[in-house]
Amino acid sequence: MRVIWIALLGVAVLAGSAAGASKGGSVDLVAYSTPKDAYGKIISSFQKTKGGSGVDFSQSYGASGDQARAVAAGQDADLVALSLDPDVSLLVGKGLVPKNWNANSHRGIVSDSVVVFVVRDGNPKKIKGWGDLVKSGVQVITPNPFTSGGARWNVMAAYGAQRRAGKTDKQAIAYLYKLFKHVPVQPDSARSALQIFAQGKGDVLLTYENEAIYAEKKGVHTEYRTPKATLLIETPVALTKSGASKPAAKAFYKYLWSSTAQKAFADQGYRPVVKSVAKGYHFFKPPGLFTIGSAKLGLNGWVKVNTRFFHPEKGIMAKVERSIGQ
């Protein structure tokens, strides 16, 4: 019996070393969960290119914040694809990702999306703009911004849209208080939120356009509306310091902005960031689109937004959460 075990172990070790010794090298990709299908396709098409032949990939997918913390705690990663900038910043702070990670021509952003409203078939509650969400009798589903990093996009879209409509900072914050009074459930993640909405809870689901497209593909009976003023969601990818020293990881990183890769993202509902590719897809361009960096709307980037809105204790959203429960 023991001999068999040792023999099996030997085979496993041999197999392991054979994989490690493949001529193209190996790349550890650590990513958030939603673009899994897109990355699967991009990797297989990359492996058919000259630079990618024989390259092995180990892929890990999970909630963006969890993935960032796992890498910070020592999980091997050459390339990190996360759902928002602060998760990359966490790794910059730990010295795992170089400070200039966003220095390429696309500022390290590999795909875009926007915050949209998913509504029931036929839009019975006639939801069009942000004002409709706080009408009496409307229930809004959005994840808890403290458990879901991605839900912060929704909150900032709501705030920014008010500012875009000429409201003051105070009025926009008052809108957040009002909006969250209409939220009966705060699921822990965007996917749980979709699950709960599909189950029949709520009139509107605040989520990303790519999730809305995913829901339609999966046959959930919904439609989605893009409000006139909404937030541009930008998802970053970064090479870690270990990845920067691997030719295969560097080649794959570059490949993410190739037209093949960008098309793969677009087919999964993400907005491509390469203009020539974007032309081929007809994503609706909201007239009032704004970014998280907009100083005019008082957003000023994730660092400022996170301390002001999402500090777990003193943040505006912490106060909003307190107000709805009490």
Partner 1 sequence: MGYLSVVVLLPLAALIWSSRADGLDSFWHQATRPEALSALKLTLGVAAVCALVNAVAGTAIAWVLVRDRFPGKSTVDAVIDLPFALPTIVAGLTLLALYGPGGPFGVDVAFTRLGLLVALLFVTLPFVVRAVQPVLLELDTEMEEAAASLGAGPIAVFRRIVFPNLLPAILSGVALAFARAVGEFGAVVLISGNIPFKTEVSSVYIFGQLQSGNGTGAAAVSVVLLAISLGVLLLIGAFRRWRTRHDGV
Which residues contribute to the site for partner 1 (CB under 8 A)? 63, 65-66, 90, 144, 146-149, 183-188, 192, 195-196, 199-201, 310, 312-313, 321-322, 324-326
Residues 6+ apart with CB under 8 A from 224: 116, 117, 118, 119, 209, 212, 213, 215, 216
Of 52 and 202, the one with the shorter C-beta distance to partner 1 is 202
Query: Which CB atom, from 3 or from 313, has the smaller least distance to partner 1?
Result: 313
> Shortest gap between Cβ of 176 and partner 1 (angstroms)?
15
Closest approach of Cβ 95 to partner 1, in Å? Answer: 17
Q: Which is nearer to partner 1, 104 or 144 (CB)?
A: 144
To partner 1, the closest distance from the beta carbon of 13 in angstroms equals 27
Rounded Cα distance between 117 and 222, Å, is: 10
Supply the minimum distance, in Å, between the C-beta of residue 208 and partner 1: 18
Distance (Å, whole) CA 72 – CA 89: 11
Q: How far is the CB of 77 from partner 1 (least distance, A)?
A: 19
Q: Which is nearer to partner 1, 187 or 227 (CB)?
A: 187
The three-state (H, E, C) secondary structure of 245-269, written as one string: CCHHHHHHHHHCCCHHHHHHHHHCC
> In terms of C-beta density within 10 A (0-12 exposed, 13-18 middle, 19 or more buried), how is residue 274 classed?
buried
Q: Which is nearer to partner 1, 57 or 309 (CB)?
A: 309
For residue 221, what is the enclosing H or E element?
A: none
Task: Report in angstroms how near the CB of residue 173 gets to partner 1 at its nearest.
Answer: 18
Instruction: Pick the closer one to partner 1 by CB: 149 or 269.
Output: 149
Of 231, 191, 304, 284, the C-alpha closest to 316 is 304
- Give residue for tokens 């795992």: 96
The closest of 44, 45, 203 to 139, measured between CA atoms, is 203
